[in-house]
């Protein structure tokens, strides 16, 4: 028998896992006569049912994946939108069948959103299309999640997956994701990285290839971005299970603490299960995005307290809200910024908006009083004046509530990176956010694809990072790194070689990073870093660090 073809896609979440295949079927076509003949009242009743199912699902899963739960709530609002129902009614009155009427109404709604100049609204177009699919599935009596029938831990294979699909699955029931569509920032990629599940997206032709290979299982390499098909016997031989290689991690082999980046309580739990040594970056923006109003003190405190309890005694570094630029809040329009990446974002936006700032300060002060392992970190700091203001706020709240947590800041602006000694007395620690630091140093938008010479491995970018480490250590401030560079084995080798004090990365990247560090050893890392700083090009630096 010829070797079954392997499929190549994009690496959306690293790690290897295998298991039986669960293929998500597309809606059957043509539609049944009952569905075709559904009336306006029937469509309205289905919309109400779908909205309620989405809200229930969001409520059950808010703890595991709050950002995705918020998307479901927004979709519930869209399903109930009277303008959508009116558009469906218009098409029905013109003699269309219900499937065509729903498709037309949602498509024209989505296209209108895409044509607005508002990036946040434009990004909601995918949610409207998803609502259309859910209404059609609802007319046939099916549940919102197409993974409702998932009975055993499986590799989920689909053309595309939505939050409604992925969130309905029980924890542990998905060992890997493979989708034909989607990029590395699609919903499924974000959920997979948060939960430490390997994922390959953009794997064009995967469904047909699995059929041709008569596959019953698959081996997914989320790091390489490949999928190979398995028959029943090969499946038995494979060691299945997401995260198994991570569970076997020998963290003692790493010369510095390996911490996790997390955006939800679920991700903190996954990191604690892997025995990672703290959360080096808790991105609170996921609590604030994709919802009609911001979370209050109570809701925030609950999240921070659970995260600290899960990780104790290791630190949980909670970052104050980092909104603005590409992270737009629907309830906080920022007008008149020709270049939002250089506009009011991070600490600037936070300090200027008491309504967002004060409940977060109170929630953090309250958490600090009961949890010694809470640390607080501020994004996008460009001047000591900003940090002074932040420190005053937390010290004031700490005096009233009993304790001021250790306060640190992210190093994301080049001017800050080279002048950390100017923040003496204001900061207890720093963490280098290489994603933003490099975008601002090279003037290269982080959302776009660039060749390696405009990446973190650019000679000037490497020297800037090295200078940040030196300038913090000169004033005895501990330096962590939480940008994506820390999660790349070559990056981790470089950073440990520079003498950083901790690395914080997506849980799924821990395995490859720890292995690279223990293979290289601290002296090897130092030598590699020294050589990389002298390299004439990014390509040469990467080769030296590999
Ligand atoms: C960074 O900029 O490197 C960082 C970790 O922050 P974020 O990716 O959330 O902007
Ligand atoms: Mg950043």
Q: How far apart are CA 398 and CA 393, in angstroms?
A: 8
Q: How far apart are CA 336 and CA 334, in angstroms?
A: 7
- Which DSSP string do the residues of 348-361 spell out, in sequence order? HHHHH-HHHHHHHH
- 283 in ligand 1 pocket by Cβ < 6 Å? yes
Helix (H) or strand (E) holding 432: strand 429-432
Say which residue the tokens 């079954």 belong to. 4
Residues with Cβ within 5 Å of ion ligand 2? 412, 433, 436
From residue 229, give the alpha-carbon distance in Å to each of 9, 176, 226: 14, 13, 10
**Of these residues, 308, 371, 482, 525, which one is catalytic?**
482
Q: How far apart are CA 252 and CA 172, in angstroms?
A: 27
Q: How confident is the model at residue 354 (pLDDT cuts 50, 70, 90)?
A: very high
> At 211, phi and psi to the nearest 5?
-65, -45
* DSSP-H helix ranges across 151-273: 163-168, 187-195, 206-212, 232-237, 244-247, 265-273
User: In whole angstroms, how large is the CA radius of gyration of the chain?
Assistant: 24
Neighbours of 390 (CB within 10 A): 23
Tell me which of 78-82, 195-199, 201-205, 501-505 is least confident: 195-199
pLDDT in tens, 436-486: 999 999 999 887 778 889 999 999 999 999 999 999 999 999 999 999 899
**Class of the 33-140 domain?**
mainly alpha
Strand order in the sheet with 226-230: 7-8, 226-230, 217-221, 16-23, 154-158, 174-179, 199-201, 10-13
pLDDT value of position 56: 86
Q: Domain-by-domain residue ranges, the chain? A: 7-28+145-244, 33-140, 254-545
Q: How far does residue 437's CA lie from ligand 2's centre (Å)?
A: 8
Model confidence at 232: pLDDT above 50: yes
- 217 in ligand 1 pocket by Cβ < 6 Å? no
Task: Pick 449 or 4 by higher pLDDT.
Answer: 449
Q: How far does residue 322's CA lie from ligand 2's centre (Å)?
A: 8
Q: What is the DSSP letter of 327?
A: B
pLDDT in tens, 13-34: 888 888 889 998 776 667 888 8
Copy the structure tokens of residue 506: 């997506």
Ligand nearest to the CA of 285: 1
- 412 in ligand 1 pocket by Cβ < 6 Å? yes
Residue 187 annotated in active site = yes
Q: How far does residue 21's CA lie from ligand 1's centre (Å)?
A: 35
Read off the pLDDT of each residue in 496-518 and give the average, rounded to a whole number. 91
pLDDT value of position 1: 41
pLDDT value of position 328: 76
Read off the pLDDT of each residue in 252-261 and give the average, rounded to a whole number. 90
Ligand nearest to the CA of 484: 1
Model confidence at 107: pLDDT above 50: yes
Read off the pLDDT of each residue in 123-134 and give the average, rounded to a whole number. 82
Neighbours of 185 (CB within 10 A): 11
Closest listed residue to residue 18, CA positions, set 250, 214, 237 = 237
Residue percentage of the chain with pLDDT more than 70: 91
Q: What is the DSSP letter of 421?
A: G
Read off the pLDDT of each residue in 493-512 and give the average, rounded to a whole number. 92
Angle, vertex CA 379, rays to CA 415 and CA 195, nearest 5: 130
Nearest CA residue ID for atom 1, ligand 1:
433
**Of these residues, 187, 308, 371, 525, which one is catalytic?**
187
Helix (H) or strand (E) holding 252: none
pLDDT value of position 393: 98
Read off the pLDDT of each residue in 495-516 and give the average, rounded to a whole number. 91
Give the nearest ligand 1 atom to 281 CA. 5
Q: How confident is the model at residue 57 (pLDDT cuts 50, 70, 90)?
A: confident
- If you average pLDDT over every residue of the chain, what do you get? 87
Domain 254-545: what homologous superfamily?
Phosphoenolpyruvate-binding domains (3.20.20.60)
Task: Pick 116 or 260 by higher pLDDT.
Answer: 260
Q: How far does residue 279's CA lie from ligand 2's centre (Å)?
A: 16
Q: 157 with 22: CB under 8 angstroms?
A: yes
Q: How far apart are CA 479 and CA 530, in angstroms?
A: 18
Model confidence at 171: pLDDT above 70: no
pLDDT in tens, 76-99: 999 999 999 999 999 999 999 999
pLDDT value of position 448: 75
Ligand nearest to the CA of 431: 1
Residues 6+ apart with CB under 8 A from 281: 259, 261, 262, 317, 319, 377, 431, 482, 504
- Give the three-class secondary structure for 521: helix
Strand 429-432 and strand 407-411: the pairing is parallel
Task: Pick 76 or 166 by higher pLDDT.
Answer: 76
Model confidence at 60: pLDDT above 80: no
Of 280, 435, 439, the one to substitute when testing ligand 1's pocket (max ligand atoms within 8 A of C-beta) is 435
β-sheet bridge partners, residue 432: 411, 481
Model confidence at 244: pLDDT above 50: no
pLDDT value of position 247: 44
Measured in residues, the chain has a length of 546
- 263 in ligand 1 pocket by Cβ < 6 Å? no
Residue percentage of the chain with pLDDT more than 90: 55
Model confidence at 120: pLDDT above 60: yes
Could you check whether the bond before residue 357 is cis, i.e. omega within 30 degrees of 0? Answer: no
Q: How far apart are CA 79 and CA 345, in angstroms?
A: 32
Of 412, 430, 432, 442, the one to substitute when testing ligand 1's pocket (max ligand atoms within 8 A of C-beta) is 412
Q: How far apart are CA 166 and CA 345, in angstroms?
A: 31
Q: How confident is the model at residue 242 (pLDDT cuts 50, 70, 90)?
A: very low
Greatest mean pLDDT among 118-122, 140-144, 202-206 lies in 202-206
pLDDT in tens, 322-343: 998 877 787 887 777 888 889 9
Of 264, 282, 377, 379, the one to substitute when testing ligand 1's pocket (max ligand atoms within 8 A of C-beta) is 379
Model confidence at 53: pLDDT above 90: no
Q: How far apart are CA 542 and CA 485, in angstroms?
A: 12
Residue 308 annotated in active site = no
Residues 6+ apart with CB under 8 A from 388: 426
Sign of the CA dihedral with 516 first, then 514, 243, and 278 last: negative
Give the nearest ligand 1 atom to 283 CA. 9
Q: How far apart are CA 201 and CA 183, in angstroms?
A: 6
pLDDT in tens, 275-317: 899 999 999 988 887 677 899 999 999 999 999 999 999 999 9
Read off the pLDDT of each residue in 218-244 and give the average, rounded to a whole number. 73
Q: How far apart are CA 324 and CA 389, in angstroms?
A: 19
Annotation: CATH topology of 7-28+145-244: Glucose Oxidase; domain 1 (3.50.30)
Can you give the pTM of this predicted structure?
0.65
- 456 in ligand 1 pocket by Cβ < 6 Å? no
pLDDT value of position 377: 98
């Amino acid at each position: 028998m010829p070797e079954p073809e392997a499929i190549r896609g994009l690496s959306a979440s690293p790690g290897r896992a295998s298991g039986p295949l669960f293929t998500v079927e597309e809606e059957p076509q043509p539609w049944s006569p009952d569905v075709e003949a559904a009336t306006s009242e029937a469509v309205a009743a289905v919309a109400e049912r779908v909205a309620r199912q989405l809200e229930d699902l969001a409520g059950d899963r808010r703890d595991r994946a709050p950002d995705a739960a918020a998307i479901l709530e927004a979709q519930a609002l869209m399903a109930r939108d009277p303008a959508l129902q009116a558009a469906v009614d218009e098409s029905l009155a013109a003699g269309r069948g219900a499937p065509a009427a729903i498709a037309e109404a949602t498509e024209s709604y989505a296209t209108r959103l895409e044509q607005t100049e508002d990036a946040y609204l434009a990004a909601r177009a995918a949610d409207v299309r998803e609502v259309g699919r859910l209404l059609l599935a609802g007319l046939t009596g099916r549940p919102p999640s197409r993974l409702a029938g998932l009975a055993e831990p499986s590799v989920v294979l689909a053309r595309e997956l939505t939050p409604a699909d992925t969130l309905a699955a029980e924890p542990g029931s998905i060992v890997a994701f493979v989708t034909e569509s989607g990029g590395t920032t699609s919903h499924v990629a974000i959920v997979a990285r948060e939960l430490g599940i390997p994922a390959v997206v953009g794997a064009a032709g995967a469904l047909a290839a699995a059929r041709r290979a008569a596959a019953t299982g698959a081996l997914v390499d989320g790091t390489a971005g490949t999928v190979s098909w398995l028959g029943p016997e090969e499946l038995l031989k494979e060691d299945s299970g997401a995260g198994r290689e991570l569970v076997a991690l020998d963290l003692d082999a790493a010369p510095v603490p390996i911490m996790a980046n997390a955006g939800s309580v679920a991700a903190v739990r996954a990191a604690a299960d892997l025995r990672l040594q703290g959360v080096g970056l808790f991105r609170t923006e996921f609590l604030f995005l994709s919802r009609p109003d911001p979370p209050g003190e109570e809701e925030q405190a609950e999240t921070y307290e659970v995260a600290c309890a899960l990780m104790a005694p290791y630190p949980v570094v909670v970052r104050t809200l980092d909104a603005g630029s590409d992270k737009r809040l629907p309830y906080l329009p920022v007008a008149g910024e020709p270049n939002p990446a250089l506009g009011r974002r991070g600490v600037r936006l936070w300090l200027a908006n008491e309504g967002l700032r004060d409940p977060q300060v109170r929630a953090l002060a309250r958490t600090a009083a009961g949890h010694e392992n809470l640390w607080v970190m501020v994004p996008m700091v460009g001047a000591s004046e900003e940090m002074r203001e932040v420190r005053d706020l937390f010290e004031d709240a700490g005096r009233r509530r009993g304790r001021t947590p250790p306060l640190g800041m992210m190093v994301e602006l080049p001017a800050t990176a080279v002048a950390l000694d100017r923040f003496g007395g204001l900061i207890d620690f720093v963490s280098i956010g290489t994603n933003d630091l490099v975008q601002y140093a090279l003037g290269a938008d982080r959302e776009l694809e660039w060749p390696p010479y405009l990446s973190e491995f650019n000679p000037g970018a490497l020297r800037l990072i090295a200078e940040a480490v030196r300038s913090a250590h000169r004033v005895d401030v501990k330096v962590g790194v939480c940008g994506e560079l820390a999660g790349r084995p070559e990056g981790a080798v470089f950073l440990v070689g520079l003498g950083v004090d901790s690395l914080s990365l997506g849980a799924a990247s821990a395995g490859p990073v720890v292995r690279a560090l223990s293979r290289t050893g601290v002296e090897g890392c130092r030598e590699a870093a020294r050589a990389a700083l002298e390299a004439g090009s990014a390509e040469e630096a990467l080769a030296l660090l590999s």
